Amino acid sequence: MRPVPASPSRVLRRLPLHMGALLTFAVCAFPVYWMVLTAFKPTADIQAETPLFLPTSLTLEHFSAAVNADGFWLFWRNSLIVTAGCVLLALAVALGSAFAVARLRWKGRRGFVLMVFIAQVAPWEALLIPMYVIARDTDMLDRLPTLTLVYFMITLPFTIVTLRSFLTGIPRELEEAAQVDGCTRAAAFRRVTLPLLAPGLLATSLFGFITAWNEFAFANMLIIKNQDDRTLPVWLSSFSNVFGTDWGATMAASTLFALPVLILFLVLQRRVASGLAGGAVKG
């Protein structure tokens, strides 16, 4: 941004804008702040009549309750495996389709695009029962790969649609120039387009990651007897039971649950941003 001398009138004029910005930040961040704060608060403070907005004393007891709960790391790892598998799979499959749609001419392309769009409307909650029956009849119950496949399908349509629009944003002339320079088409794609597409791939994978990381209904229905294959959301629900809706531990577990996504965001965000900026100097 261009440095502008800050005159008092200017500051005054921008006051509503900054108030709005602060309000937006506060509204967005408060629930997350409250979650993390509660996770660190002693139980007595959590149940205080007047909410304590700043910590008076902090405790790790809720975190140790959450982490020491039976199998926390196992479920955490299960979730990570399923989620990562679904994201990679969806990216690989979607990249091919997005390329075909954005770069090639072929008969049936419109129909294909329409199919992908309509696939986004799929009523997944309603497909629980048919999915269960199919998984049972194919001996796919109680297995993590089944979940990977289901999540892959849930995220695939959106991944294709977004990758396609990323691809159309990259001028095909770049590839063609590389081909003129003697590259094969595949090499041109790999060397020229793919690097430019990297931020798009990352941004898209974030969506897939969040979706799969959150999913509860299928994980609860398709993993039945093999309790060691449960995922984190299913486990997280275990904090609400007859004698123990323990807000402290629930918030600690929620914090740990949100952590990978938040980290991924912070790490990738910079690369996505720089990638976009890099794409801007495409020349």
The C-alpha angle with vertex 133 and arms to 132 and 136, in degrees rounded to 5, equals 85
Which positions from 247 to 266 touch other proteins by CB under 8 A, shown as an x/- string?
A: x--xx--xx-xx--xx-xxx
Q: In this structure, what are the phi and psi dihedrals at residue 40, rounded to the nearest 5 degrees? A: -100, -5
Q: Which of 25, 72, 49 minimizes the C-alpha distance to 252?
A: 72
Task: Work out which of 15, 115, 177, 267 binds other proteins, going by CB under 8 A.
Answer: 115
Q: Which of 68, 66, 42, 64 minimizes the C-alpha distance to 55?
A: 42
Contact flag: residue 59 with other proteins (CB under 8 A): no
Cα–Cα distance measured from residue 260 to residue 236, given in angstroms and rounded to the nearest whole number: 15
Under rule CB under 8 A, which residues in 68-97 are in contact with other proteins? 77-78, 81-82, 84-85, 88-89, 92-94, 96-97
Which positions from 198 to 227 touch other proteins by CB under 8 A, shown as an x/- string?
A: --x--x--xx--x--xx-xx--xx--xxxx
The smaller minimum CB distance to other proteins, of residues 51 and 55, is found at 51
Task: Work out which of 50, 56, 68, 181 binds other proteins, going by CB under 8 A.
Answer: 50
The C-alpha angle with vertex 60 and arms to 56 and 64, in degrees rounded to 5, equals 160
Contact flag: residue 19 with other proteins (CB under 8 A): no
Task: Work out which of 10, 11, 55, 171 binds other proteins, going by CB under 8 A.
Answer: 171
CB of 58 to other proteins, least distance (A): 19
Cα–Cα distance measured from residue 121 to residue 111, given in angstroms and rounded to the nearest whole number: 16
Contact flag: residue 45 with other proteins (CB under 8 A): no
User: Which residues are CB-neighbours of 110 under 8 A, at least 6 positions away?
Assistant: none
In contact, 216 and 234? CB cutoff 8 Å: yes
Contact flag: residue 10 with other proteins (CB under 8 A): no
Q: How many residues bind other proteins (CB under 8 A)?
A: 154
Contact flag: residue 195 with other proteins (CB under 8 A): no
Cα–Cα distance measured from residue 137 to residue 40, given in angstroms and rounded to the nearest whole number: 46
Under rule CB under 8 A, which residues in 116-145 are in contact with other proteins? 116-134, 136-145
In contact, 57 and 42? CB cutoff 8 Å: yes
The smaller minimum CB distance to other proteins, of residues 60 and 216, is found at 216
Structure token pair of residue 256: 């740990």
The smaller minimum CB distance to other proteins, of residues 57 and 120, is found at 120
- Length of the chain in terms of residues written: 283
Residue 195 C-beta-side C-alpha neighbours within 13 Å: 12
CB of 134 to other proteins, least distance (A): 6
CB of 40 to other proteins, least distance (A): 14
CB of 64 to other proteins, least distance (A): 17
